[in-house]
Structure 1
Amino acid sequence: MSATGLDVFDRTIHLTNVWLDEIMTTLPRDRQLAWHALGAVLRTVRDRVPLNLAVHLGAQLPLLVRGSYFEQWRPSETPQTWRSVDEFIALVSAQMKSVKPVDTVEAARAVFRVLSHHVDPNQIEKVRHSLPEEIRSLWPTQRSSAA
């Protein structure tokens, strides 16, 4: 029986929880922290990549995650031009200031692993290659073999 009465909602809740569980294999077991890390990393990437890639990536995210991804998006202000890992980490950290401290580099790596595991590998490669080389070094190059 459906928990919410709508299969689409049940499925997105399930998928979102799977993604958060995978993030929590690296970060502390704190679902709220994992949720904030997922959103912060995704939005920072979204704001750096070309508009068409941002939209295509968003279309492949679970419905709940997609809502966070597109939250407060201003397409006319993208893509941003930051280039370094330090700038990337500072932007992610600023979005996570309301949660307990976490290693932002590890949070980014955890989110990138989840994306590599669940999103079409061709789309991931396009997004990766649109990012500065320093940021690509944080992102695994091969799709995760985890189920």
Structure 2
Amino acid sequence: MSTTGLEVFDRTLHSTHIWLDEIMQEIGPDRTLAWKVLSTVLQTLRDRLPLELAAHLGAQLPLLVRGAYYAGFDPTKMPTDWHTAEEFRQYVAARLKDARPVGASDAIDAVFRVLDRHLSAGQVDKVYRALPKSIRGLWPLFAGWEG
């Protein structure tokens, strides 16, 4: 039986809950924090990607998550000009400072692992290859891989 009366809404709610549950397994049982982590890391990743690839990534996200991904979207500022893993971490940390303490590295790991599990391998590979080499090192699936 439909919860919302629309299958598309039921599917996106179900998918979003799965993603949040997986993030909570890594950062602790706080759904609000999991949503903040998911939104923050996805937006940080989006802002570092070339515009066309950012749009392709957004198209693969569950509808509800896609809304968070595009919140505050300004294509005139893409991609950002920072190139290091530390800059990526600092940006995430700054955006999470108003939430319950969670390490930026833990947040990034949790979201990248969700992307690895739920997006096509081809899309993950394209996103990975578009990132500067230093930032690539943050992606757990590819840790230590130079491909």
Taking structure 1 as the reference length, the TM-score comes to 0.93
Return the alpha-carbon distance in structure 1 between the equivalents of residues 68 and 108 of structure 2.
16
Alpha-carbon deviation of 1:98? 2.1
- Find the counterpart in structure 1 of residue 45 from structure 2: 45
- Find the counterpart in structure 2 of residue 122 from structure 1: 122
- Deviation per CA, 1:13-64: give whole Å up to 9, x if none: 0000000111111101111111111110000010011011100000000001
Letter in 2 for 1:109: D
- The question of whether the paired residues in 1 share the 8 Å contact of 2:85 and 2:137 is answered with no
- Find the counterpart in structure 2 of residue 8 from structure 1: 8
- Find the counterpart in structure 2 of residue 92 from structure 1: 92
User: Which portions of structure 1, spanning 4 or more consecutive aligned residues, are displaced by more than 6 angstroms?
Assistant: none
Alpha-carbon deviation of 1:132? 1.6
Letter in 1 for 2:70: F
1:1-147 → structure 2 map (5 Å cutoff): 1-141=1-141
Return the alpha-carbon distance in structure 1 between the equivalents of residues 115 and 64 of structure 2.
15
- The question of whether the paired residues in 1 share the 8 Å contact of 2:40 and 2:95 is answered with yes
| Structure 2 unaligned blocks of 5 or more | 143-147
Identity of aligned residues (%): 53
| Structure 1 unaligned blocks of 5 or more | 143-147
Alpha-carbon deviation of 1:94? 1.9
Q: Which has the higher helix share?
A: 2
CA RMSD of aligned residues (A): 1.1
Q: How many residues align?
A: 142
